[in-house]
C-alpha cells in the first residue's frame, strides 16, 4: 500500500484531517459539484483491504474481502462497499 499512498499523495488525493483518533491521513475519493467531498481515513481503508496490503492491484482490490468490523466478521466485494468506481478511476490514472 505504501506505493499506492505515494501515488495518491502525488496526485493530491491524500490529506491530513481530524478524526476521533486525532490527526490522521485521509484518501480523497470524490469531490461533488457543491464542493463537498467523500473521503476515507487510511485506518478504515486498511481495515477493509488489509488482505491485499502487500499487493494492491486493481484485480486484488476489486475482489472479495474479509474483515472484522467491530465484533462482526464481514465478507464483501469492493462493489458492495462502494469502492469499485474509485478503483476504476485509480486504474485509469495508473495508480494501480
Distance (Å, whole) CA 57 – CA 15: 22
Percent of the chain's residues with pLDDT above 70 = 100
The x, y and z cell numbers of residue 41, run together, are 481515513
Could you please report the per-residue DSSP string of 7-68?
HHHHTT-EEEEEETTEEEEEEEEEE-TTS-EEEEEHHHHHHHHGGGTT---HHHHHSEEEEE
Section 45-72 average pLDDT:
95
Q: Kindly tell me if the per-residue pLDDT of 20 is higher than 90.
A: no
The x, y and z cell numbers of residue 83, run together, are 469502492
* pTM recorded for the entire structure: 0.91
Look at residue 28 in the predicted model and tell me its pLDDT: 98
Amino acid at each position: 500500500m505504501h506505493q499506492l499512498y505515494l501515488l495518491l499523495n502525488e496526485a493530491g488525493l491524500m490529506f491530513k484531517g481530524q478524526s476521533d483518533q486525532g490527526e490522521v491521513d485521509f484518501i480523497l475519493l470524490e469531490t461533488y459539484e457543491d464542493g463537498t467531498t467523500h473521503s476515507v481515513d487510511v485506518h478504515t481503508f486498511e481495515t477493509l483491504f488489509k488482505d491485499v496490503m502487500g499487493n494492491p492491484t486493481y484485480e486484488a482490490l476489486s475482489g472479495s474481502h474479509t474483515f472484522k468490523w467491530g465484533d462482526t466478521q464481514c465478507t464483501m466485494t469492493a462493489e458492495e462497499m462502494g469502492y469499485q468506481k474509485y478503483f476504476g478511476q485509480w486504474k485509469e490514472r495508473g495508480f494501480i
